[in-house]
Amino acid sequence: MTTLAGHLSNRIGIPSVIGQILVGIIVGPAMLGWIHLDNMVNLFSQVGVIILMFIGGLESNLKLLRKYLRPAIIVAIIGVIFPVVMIGGACWAFSFSPLEAIFIGVVFSATSVSISVEVLRDYKSLDTKEGATILGAAVADDIIGVILLSIMISIMGTQGVKTGGSSTSLALIFIEQIAFFGLTYLMVKWIVPYMMRIGERLLMASSVTITSMVICLGMAYIAEAVGLSGAVGAFFAGIAVAHTPYRETIENHMEPIGYAVFVPMFFVSIGLNMSFAHISDSLLFVGILTILACLSKLFGCGIGALMNGFSLNSSYMIGSGMISRGEMGLITAQIGFSSGLLSDSYYSDLILVIILSTLIAPFMLKHAIHLLPADDKADLSLGVENGIASNGRS
């Protein structure tokens, strides 16, 4: 069903992920109620995020990411400030307490790049200066979001953020995350190339692919253990594997594994989270927050891109690529709910806003990509070819 939905979406000129999300909405609790988000669906969707981000890392150009690291950080910082101020201010106007309003702003400061990665891949724009800035900003955004979440939970009286079932102090979380990025450097530079060479010598079918999956899941697990998203670990695992001679082989093997079941299941799960129950009671609140969720990232990240010398169209593309909240917004909201920062009365409204903004994001990103001048699009194709060639030589 997801394959047919993706096909029909592409035929009418919209990103395939929209069709897959709509499948979840139609067959899920929002409409027909045939399928519900159970443990199996949730597990498959989590694996889908990991594989999608691993493939995104495989197709990324590390040199390009390094080149645009500074603008990515600036885009991320401004893209966090705008949602906290704009959405926090709106919630305060709706009579939320100051801490609740700020925390809701923190929820919408998160960016889920998974859907943007898929749209960028569809339009051959992943390995570009805009794509590199979106990816880098999303990773920085994730780190800033975790720090803000930890601070908010600490302010509300919790000893720390629960990671892996144990309470960890805020200072220790920062140290662990710094250690994670230190380990990431070692993985990219030495450990992963060594592991891949060992994998090639194993007398087993697809031993290189199996080794890459061990690296992917291992780094995702470590990222989760230090309070980051597993998607961040998988993304860096993909970058590490991409800079070995096995990049093309792994990519050819991983795409069928991911896109046969796991990646579509992730997009379907977003639709399964939708619910239209009691929507009439909070229609104004949901509508205003959805608009602000889109505009805060569009303008915040777009202004950050303009400050770094990007053209207006490129800045629009970067801002559009940062709108999607996806699983990061859902995870942040769930942590806040379980920690007592969000009440039952408006938790479902926030989930609906997160999903609506995630649905809108691919349309805006597609529109932004098509607005790029013809010469920029030629540069994009050249960048993809050069990126692949440099990866193959690494």
Could you tell me which of 22, 76, 30 has the C-alpha nearest to residue 351? 30
Q: What tokens does 190 get?
A: 């030495």
Task: Confirm if 215 and 194 have CB atoms less than 8 A apart.
Answer: no
Percentage with pLDDT > 70 across the chain: 86
Beta-strand ranges (E) seen in the chain are 161-163, 166-168
Mean pLDDT calculated for residue range 55-62? 80
Residue-wise pLDDT for 270-313, tens only, equals: 888 777 777 778 889 999 999 999 999 999 999 999 999 999 99
> Domain spanning 1-380 has what CATH number?
1.20.1530.20
Domain boundaries, the chain: 1-380
Mean pLDDT calculated for residue range 196-209? 91
Cα 107 → chain centroid: 14
Q: What is the mean pLDDT of the chain?
A: 82
Q: What is the rounded distance in angstroms from the CA atom of residue 184 to the CA atom of residue 377?
A: 32
Q: Is 98 exposed, middle or buried (0-12, 13-18, 19+ CB in 10 A)?
A: exposed
Q: Name the least confident of 35-39, 120-124, 152-156, 206-210.
A: 152-156
Q: What is the pLDDT of residue 208?
A: 93
Q: What is the pLDDT of residue 389?
A: 38
Q: Judge whether residue 172 has pLDDT over 90.
A: no
φ/ψ of 166, rounded to 5, equals -125, 150
Task: Confirm if 316 and 301 have CB atoms less than 8 A apart.
Answer: no
Cα atoms in the 13 Å half-sphere on the side-chain side of 353: 25
C-alpha angle 129-144-151 in degrees, rounded to nearest 5? 175
Q: Name the least confident of 89-103, 148-162, 336-350.
A: 148-162
How would residue 17 be classed by pLDDT, with cut points 50, 70 and 90? confident
How would residue 388 be classed by pLDDT, with cut points 50, 70 and 90? very low
Cα 51 → chain centroid: 12
How would residue 166 be classed by pLDDT, with cut points 50, 70 and 90? very low
Q: Judge whether residue 169 has pLDDT over 70.
A: no
Residue-wise pLDDT for 210-254, tens only, equals: 999 999 999 999 988 887 778 778 888 998 999 899 999 999 999
Q: What is the rounded distance in angstroms from the CA atom of residue 61 to the CA atom of residue 242?
A: 8
- For residue 167, what are the β-bridge partners? 162
Q: What is the pLDDT of residue 195?
A: 95
Q: Pick the residue with more confidence: 125 or 164? A: 125
Q: How far apart are the first and last CA of the chain?
A: 39
Q: What is the rounded distance in angstroms from the CA atom of residue 230 to the CA atom of residue 147?
A: 16
Q: Pick the residue with more confidence: 327 or 179? A: 179
Task: Confirm if 338 and 317 have CB atoms less than 8 A apart.
Answer: no
Q: Pick the residue with more confidence: 281 or 13? A: 281
